[in-house]
Each structure stands twice: as C-alpha cells, then as structure tokens.
Amino acid sequence: MSTNIRALPALGPTRRLKLPRQAERRLGNGLTVIAVRRPAVPLVELRLWMPFGRTHLARRAMLAETMLTGTGTLTATQIAAELQKVGGGLSAGADPDRLMVSGAGLVTGLDRMLEILADVLTGASYPADWVQTERDRLVDGIQVAQSQPAHLARTALLRRIYGQHPYAVQTPEPEQVRAVRPAALRRLHAERVHPAEAVLVLVGDVQPERALDAAEKALAGWTGDSRGVDLPPAPPLEPGQLLLVDRPGSVQSSLRIALPAVPRTHPDHAALQLANLIFGGYFSSRWTENIREDKGYTYGPHSSVEHSVAGSVLVAGADVATEVTGPALLETTYELGRLASLPPKPDELEQARQYALGTLQLGISTQAGLAALTSAYAGNGLRLDFLAEHAARLAKATVDDVAEVGARYLAPSGAVVVVLGDAERVAGPLAALTPIRTESA
C-alpha cells in the first residue's frame, strides 16, 4: 500500500440557489393553487393540503383511509384503475393539522388526475362495505403499530409533551375506530373537506400557468365555506421526571428527548437549526460521533426540529442496547449541556452551515422534493421564496448566535425525557442520573 500524503481538494465555487419558475392563483372557491416547473422527467407531483384541525381522531383517520374508496360515478377499484392508466396514483393521510391528498403520474395524465381528484373531493361516497373493510384493516394496522417500539416511544412522548392539547394523541384506539360509521364520515367530509383554506401544489414537467388553468377547470366546482378552525398554541414543555415506559424483555431502550423549538419564521430558527445539527442533527454531529462512532451504544441517533401549525419542537431519538441505557443518557445529557454552556468551534459551525445549505440544494433537485417542500411551506403560510431568505439567515449566523440559541433551547434542564425499555433492567441506572417515574407500555 502506498503512503503518499494527498491533500483534500478544495470545493469549487458555490452555485447560487436558483428557484424554479412558478405561478400561483387563488380560485373563486378560495383554493390556492401553486404550480412549479421542474421538467427533468415527464411526470407531475400533486399535493393537496387541507386544514383539518380539531377533527375527531378516529373519524379523521378513517376518512383518510376511505376517501378514495368510491364516488357517485366510480368504485374504489375504478378510481385506482383510472389513475393507473395515466401512470398515477393518489393516497390520503391525516394528522391533527391537515388532511393531505398526495400523488404523482405521467404529466400527460394531469387533467385526468385532477378530474378524479375533483370527483373524490365533491362526491366521495364512503360506501358501507368499503368502510367496513378499511375499518378492520386500520384496527389491525394499529395493533401492529402498538407492538413497534418506535411507535410506542413516540406515543408516550407526545402524551408527555402535549398533555391536553389535540397533538397529545395521534393514533386512535381500536374500539374508537370500530365505532366509526359511514354517515359520520360523510358528515365530516361535508363539514371540513373544503377549498377555502386549502392549497394545491403541482410540480413537474408543466408550464405553470397552464397547470393553474387545468386545476381551475377541474376544481372550480368544489365548494364549501371555511369555518376557520384553529388549534390552540401547543403548550410549553414542562421538564420534570424522566418517564420510563416499561416494555419487558426489550433488548434495546428507545430514548426520546423533546426540547423547545421555534417556527420557521422566528429570528432564532436558522441558528437553532445549526445548533441542532451540531448536537445530533446529522451524522457528523457530536452526539453521533460520541455514542455511535466512539462508544458503539447505538446504530442511528438523530435529532430534528419538527414544525406543526400550533408549535415546533426539537426531538432527539436513539435506540441503545439495554445494558448501556444509563451511560447513553449520561453522554446525551453531557452533549446537550456542552452545547448549552460553551460556544461551538468555528469549523464545527462552518461544517454544519455548509451541510444545511447544501441539503437545501439537494432537496429541491427532484420533483418530489420540491413538491414536499412547497406544500410544507404553504401549509404554514410560506412560499418557496422563503427558502432563499432562510438560506441567507443560515449564511449569516455567527458562533455567538449559535451559542445563544444553544443556551436557550438545548439546555438539558429544559428537556422532556422518555425511555421505553425493560424497566427491571434500566430503572436503576437511569434513576442514578435523574429522578424517574415508571409506567407500563
């Protein structure tokens, strides 16, 4: 093996963030349509974001499962087959903020996809036999989810963070699902599946103005008033005892930590994003280098800032071997405390900054990535040009800025900690580090 010393090549000049061509129109029925051109492949991505706050948990979940199972003119099978014909598909999903219909297809099939979407929005019929089939499937799905450690840990964390807020429980219990009848779904659809505050995003090999025309033609007949249902703001985190959720026999402990965060438009957000990267938000973070690459406690620790309409939160998670649960929490607290007490090194900040800026470029380099970002922004009242503003803020953030947000948001004293694992084996080591309270899963 040769031992030539070779120097790392320098990076070439940075290419400026270039936003794609786009157009926007608010239709007479209140629907906002945004069309973005990225012609790399002859496809189009579709995202319809509808505000859906304060809806009944089980009915909301069931509505998403059954919305595409029939209309006045098409059966579920026909809907799927008609979409397939144009290389397309649609699916629906719901959470405490929104109902979302997503899909993609050949761009030559855009008119047909929009036609079928309109048929579903205005004429979804929730046929009784389909509702029954999907109800049973959803119940089974929930049962399987409830056996997954990642789901159980997430559920416990949400309950612990949000208390009485609608974000606290996001998966219905099987018996709640079993109680949902087709009439309730038709009622919920009639009351809440409305264009007034909804945003449709189309991204792909389209001429933006022409795509807006197509959407207007297909969806102008979709009507219904907005009732302006807002969620209350998410409550502030209340740190306290570590919540240990017992899952006897677990060979790993699922460690989940919530810390305060701010919305995308907050002046602290860019610096907080950088502080999060330095802590645990990417592979080259302190946390990963410590508990994975140095100590081998875990496969994939990760932290990220999650934005919802009613508030933002920073969530860190790692699944660690049962026998190192205590030490893993110790190192985690150490890394949070270090970032809250000491400024990051300038080269650490530069590395995180380049990563944040580079991944913005990567994120908008595909139709699907552009659609996801445009829709997520629009759901929070922002437009794609916010990306450039955000990039400018990332470029400007100083070591002092990051140190300041580190102290403000990442301090371990402000953390809510949940651990799912074998309580018999991990309660002792955890209690040596912090007061704990144990519950069964």
Q: How far is CA 345 from the centre of its chain?
A: 30
Which is nearer to another protein, 43 or 257 (by Cβ)?
43
User: What's the rounded Cα separation, in Å, for the pair 319 and 299?
Assistant: 7
Which is nearer to another protein, 146 or 241 (by Cβ)?
146
Q: What is the DSSP letter of 264?
A: T
Which is nearer to another protein, 146 or 223 (by Cβ)?
146
Residues 6+ apart with CB under 8 A from 210: none
Nearest distance in Å: CB 440, another protein: 11
Nearest distance in Å: CB 386, another protein: 19
Nearest distance in Å: CB 26, another protein: 29
Which is nearer to another protein, 316 or 320 (by Cβ)?
320
Nearest distance in Å: CB 117, another protein: 16
Cβ–Cβ < 8 Å for 334, 8: no
**Alpha-helical runs (H) found in 23-56:** none
Neighbours of 315 (CB within 10 A): 20
Which is nearer to another protein, 19 or 190 (by Cβ)?
19
User: What's the rounded Cα separation, in Å, for the pair 34 and 171?
Assistant: 31
Q: Which two tokens stand for residue 79?
A: 């809907």
> In this structure, which amino acid lies at residue 116?
I
Q: Which two tokens stand for residue 399?
A: 């070591």
Which is nearer to another protein, 161 or 349 (by Cβ)?
349
Closest CA to 306 of 407, 170, 440, 103: 170
User: What's the rounded Cα separation, in Å, for the pair 386 and 367?
Assistant: 18
Which is nearer to another protein, 293 or 306 (by Cβ)?
293
Q: Is 70 left (phi over 0), alpha (psi -120 to 50) or beta?
A: left
Nearest distance in Å: CB 329, another protein: 16
Nearest distance in Å: CB 82, another protein: 8
Name residue 199's beta-bridge partners: 32, 49
Which is nearer to another protein, 224 or 344 (by Cβ)?
344
Nearest distance in Å: CB 257, another protein: 17
Q: Mapping DSSP to helix (H, G, I), strand (E, B) and coil, where does residue 366 land?
A: coil
Residues 6+ apart with CB under 8 A from 151: 145, 171
User: What's the rounded Cα separation, in Å, for the pair 155 and 356?
Assistant: 29
Nearest distance in Å: CB 401, another protein: 19
